[in-house]
A = this chain, B = another copy of it.
């Protein structure tokens, strides 16, 4: 089987792996107090063009999201997110287990708007003196979203503005932030994201690392005690340098976005082939996750050879399927897939 089911099917990018091998027998302090973590922090600050942010690295996305939200919110406060948010549907109630309600709003293709956020706050202020309901205090966006869509600068700016106006923290779950920034139609970059957010994360696990998310914390209230919340929730890796080494390598010279562009390009090739064969998409996007509506025979045939992710029935003749590419997706595998698609469709 050839894997197109996720962007975490292989190990780490060889450059990262090599650095882990080279440094393996070096001795360092534990828990992130080593030179490699210090170096990675510098590198990430530089990539964000902001020397005043705190940077912490944790092993995975659920940890990054839960820690960022738990560190920010008081007990009566909740986080606004689209229904489709990873924290709402793919993390087994981690935010609720940390004590907080997710104030869901219907997204469109995984995205939400400043107007929707504003409305939640307006309704809160009008509601019964605010005592019987949770206070909206944070917004959680995903970029690129779970549907592979992206926010533009203007969109993010107005969301950031409404957050400032409404006294909300803005958090971006950036598990796939590279794919989003590197999309051909994107005008986003890390410095702009850092400017707009209180806290966000830069995903490694789905973007070329063995594992790891770098959490960039700009807000001083959230930053205070952040490492303690990390430790309390199991997010402080003993051999922290494994994270430092990988993140430095990914971000020091643009490898991160180069890998993202590669994945997006591989996805574009598949997208083009599907479109050329008349396949429609459940969601239009320009990043590494495709959501084609596959006729049953095509899906059935492809499934014998390729691992894809089933998302749901579309109608009585077709299903919505997720095809994911990554830094590791080879042109050869994409060509195989494309020629199989064409062959099946043109029978």
Contact = CB atoms under 8 A, between A and B. Distances in A.
Contacts of A77: 225
A339 interface: no
A92 interface: yes
7 contacts: A5-B29, A10-B25, A14-B24, A58-B234, A71-B75, A94-B231, A131-B236
Contacts of A93: 76, 78, 100-101, 133-134, 232
A108 interface: no
A33 interface: yes
Contacts of A276: none
B133 A89 contact: yes
A96 B92 contact: no
A74 B70 CA distance: 8
Given A2-B27, A211-B239, A92 B9 contact: no
Contact of A210 (B101, B132, B227, B239): B239
Interface string A121-132: 000000001111
A8 interface: yes
Nearest to A328: B25
Interface stretch (A59-67, A109-117, A255-263, A288-296): A59-67
A129 to B, nearest CB: 7
| Chain A contact residues: helix, strand, loop or mixed | loop
Interface string A195-239: 000000000011000110000000000000101111111111111
B205 A238 contact: yes
Nearest to A11: B24
Given A3-B27, A233-B233, A228 B17 contact: no
A23 B10 CA distance: 9
A26 B10 contact: yes
Nearest to A94: B232
A54 B33 CA distance: 35
A63 B234 contact: yes
A314 to B, nearest CB: 16
